[in-house]
Chain A
């Protein structure tokens, strides 16, 4: 890994306009991604992590809008937020690939999987169908799918969950993108299959030098493959740190609670704690620090002023008044 920036998100705000009001799903996120780095975005449901991922891809639903901020793609430093749809279509797939959570909903059920991979290759690389099909089979082989030429001729429903997810990965990486965004790539899979898909992702980014943004709620899977972790809560990043030091000494009270809230095989049951209360309603987020109603260390400043993300050491930034 080197320090070359490949993506820089600056003060991004993505809001949903609903009949009940405005949901500030991503509310002022600043983040950068380096070349060959794998970065995790961890948060619970409703924390805005998927909205952030879909904002980068500009694949938001109609009622959502990026209202502020920029997403710079390097080295040209083009702002993805300001690209036209046509220009964005050239970035999507070719420069940034995406793996989605549920493989069944993102594969075309009436098209052979080999053709679905070939379609992306034909669109972006402009080769003939025959060449594209050949490349698709090669890709499946690279993803360790046994009997790849045969699998390419099957329809999604004939494949298992793990296989379908590998097909999705194949489509995402078919044009050698510089960045791969994976949104909960293994949540729909069984644990033994999940381990395999993760291993595959790890090998793939390692071999190709691709950068990875892994979006997940599971602190377990990011420990295995990510270099850096950003913790999101209620639309904001509350802590961002290098993986080893984050697990060793989490600083934000939410991160501390989150690490305690999950039972693990090495934890005694008495060590399982929890965070009191529930994630906030993003239509009416708490004033001040958004975590303040659930925080055990809350004091006056937290309920009136919002803490900024403060760089506390070389590799760590925390948004908490305790750090000042």
Chain B
């Protein structure tokens, strides 16, 4: 079975209008996602890394059409998602699933686990209650909630954070999705529990590698590295670098990637204290009035005149895409 592009994202933009509406049109926009394009093959794994406000979550939601885009196109398995009406879109939903950051907020507190997971079967394929029970048991086993019978009749508040996230994962894979997006899947969990969930996600990915593609969104490039092969680095709604995670960590090309990598706290005092620090200060500018030209130029130590004028395009450097005039 060969690989083929499962997801194609073309020039996707999401602008949120803000401020006073004048004659029905807002004058200012927050450009949360600004012209993002990429393709993802079956079996592929892509990370989206960025700080808060970089638009990584908005991008995920726009890809799944959980919010409407401002412009652009998204193709899933060749189907143009933005051309579908609600009914058609709902039919396609089983193919694309998302795991959210806070498992408590994404599980209905009044429903038992069997109903939370079973509901997806009810809505999308309509099977009997007996069959649903069997399938839910099977899923709970897959995500390591054993013995499954013990969990069927529990409510979300009776589970620990890690167990809740497992329920969310079970629900997301229930209908064999083609595209799975995990948004900060471990950041709401206790540190000692994070490793378990990372392992579970890796297991699931390996099991379905010939059928699915997945995206992991995080502010933590170390997490992305342990889950994905490639990554996008986002800054203020734009992709500044794209390539293999391993290579970006070893040798980040974009000055922002360099800053990001050198800022990561390393749990190893020898490496942490001897590494080179990049003297970049400043803070992330506001998205309402982003700087002209390259958005990173006010913080960039290598800034040139050109950077203040025009946004650098994404160019291919050594098999990676970088948006910087240095290259």
Complex contacts, B220 vs chain A, CB 8 Å? 191, 263
Partner of B192, one of A44, A194, A221: A44
- Counting CB contacts under 8 A, is A272 at the interface? yes
Distance in Å from the Cβ of B163 to the closest Cβ of chain A? 8
Q: Contact at B195–A265, with CB atoms within 8 Å?
A: no
Known: A262-B194, A265-B221, A269-B225. A192 touches B199 (CB 8 A): no
Q: Tell me the interface secondary structure of chain A in the complex.
A: helix
Q: Which of A6-14, A212-220, A296-304 is the contact stretch? A: A212-220
Instruction: Report the separation of the CA atoms of residues A263 and B197 in the bound assembly, to the nearest whole angstrom.
Output: 11
Distance in Å from the Cβ of A159 to the closest Cβ of chain B? 10
- Counting CB contacts under 8 A, is A74 at the interface? no
Q: Contact at A266–B268, with CB atoms within 8 Å?
A: yes
Complex contacts, B273 vs chain A, CB 8 Å? 223-224
Q: Contact at A261–B162, with CB atoms within 8 Å?
A: no
Known: A191-B219, A275-B192, A275-B195. A223 touches B226 (CB 8 A): no
Complex contacts, B221 vs chain A, CB 8 Å? 265
Complex contacts, B196 vs chain A, CB 8 Å? 261, 274-276
Distance in Å from the Cβ of B88 to the closest Cβ of chain A? 37
Residue of chain A at shortest CB distance from B201? A269
- Counting CB contacts under 8 A, is A52 at the interface? no
Partner of B263, one of A44, A194, A275: A194
Q: Contact at B271–A217, with CB atoms within 8 Å?
A: no
**Which residues of B256-276 have CB atoms within 8 Å of chain A's CB atoms?**
259-273
Q: Contact at B160–A278, with CB atoms within 8 Å?
A: yes
Instruction: Report the separation of the CA atoms of residues A254 and B223 in the bound assembly, to the nearest whole angstrom.
Output: 21
Complex contacts, B163 vs chain A, CB 8 Å? 278
- Counting CB contacts under 8 A, is A127 at the interface? no
Q: Contact at B198–A272, with CB atoms within 8 Å?
A: yes
Q: Contact at B195–A219, with CB atoms within 8 Å?
A: no
Q: How many residues of B contact A (CB 8 A)?
A: 46
Complex contacts, A260 vs chain B, CB 8 Å? 195
Q: Contact at A191–B264, with CB atoms within 8 Å?
A: yes
Q: Contact at B194–A224, with CB atoms within 8 Å?
A: no
Q: Contact at A220–B198, with CB atoms within 8 Å?
A: no
Q: Contact at A220–B283, with CB atoms within 8 Å?
A: no
Q: Contact at B269–A274, with CB atoms within 8 Å?
A: no
- Counting CB contacts under 8 A, is B190 at the interface? yes
Q: Contact at A220–B51, with CB atoms within 8 Å?
A: no
Q: Contact at A192–B194, with CB atoms within 8 Å?
A: no
Q: Contact at B192–A274, with CB atoms within 8 Å?
A: yes
- Counting CB contacts under 8 A, is A273 at the interface? yes
- Counting CB contacts under 8 A, is A193 at the interface? yes
Instruction: Report the separation of the CA atoms of residues A44 and B192 in the bound assembly, to the nearest whole angstrom.
Output: 8
Complex contacts, B51 vs chain A, CB 8 Å? 190-192
Complex contacts, A195 vs chain B, CB 8 Å? 262-263, 265, 277
- Counting CB contacts under 8 A, is B304 at the interface? no
Q: Contact at B263–A278, with CB atoms within 8 Å?
A: no
- Counting CB contacts under 8 A, is B227 at the interface? yes
Complex contacts, A268 vs chain B, CB 8 Å? 226
Residue of chain A at shortest CB distance from B265? A220
Q: Contact at A190–B52, with CB atoms within 8 Å?
A: yes
Q: Contact at B222–A278, with CB atoms within 8 Å?
A: no
Chain A window 181-214, contacts with chain B (Cβ cutoff 8 Å), 1 for yes, 0 for no:
0000000001111111011000000000000000
Complex contacts, A278 vs chain B, CB 8 Å? 160-163, 190, 193
Q: Contact at A261–B193, with CB atoms within 8 Å?
A: yes
Residue of chain B at shortest CB distance from A191? B263
Partner of B195, one of A44, A196, A224, A272: A272
Interface centre among B198, B226, B277 (most CB of A within 10 A): B226
Instruction: Report the separation of the CA atoms of residues A276 and B263 in the bound assembly, to the nearest whole angstrom.
Output: 30
Q: Contact at B222–A265, with CB atoms within 8 Å?
A: yes
- Counting CB contacts under 8 A, is A247 at the interface? yes
Can you list 17 A-B pairs with a CB-CB distance of less than 8 A? A45-B190, A194-B263, A218-B191, A220-B265, A223-B265, A223-B268, A224-B273, A244-B269, A247-B267, A258-B192, A259-B267, A264-B222, A264-B266, A265-B264, A269-B225, A269-B226, A273-B199
The 7 closest A-B pairs by CB, nearest first: A220-B265, A274-B195, A261-B195, A274-B196, A195-B263, A269-B226, A263-B226
Q: 12 more A-B contacts (CB under 8 A) besides A192-B263, A223-B273, A275-B195?
A: A44-B192, A160-B283, A191-B260, A192-B260, A195-B263, A220-B265, A224-B273, A262-B195, A263-B198, A276-B196, A278-B162, A278-B193
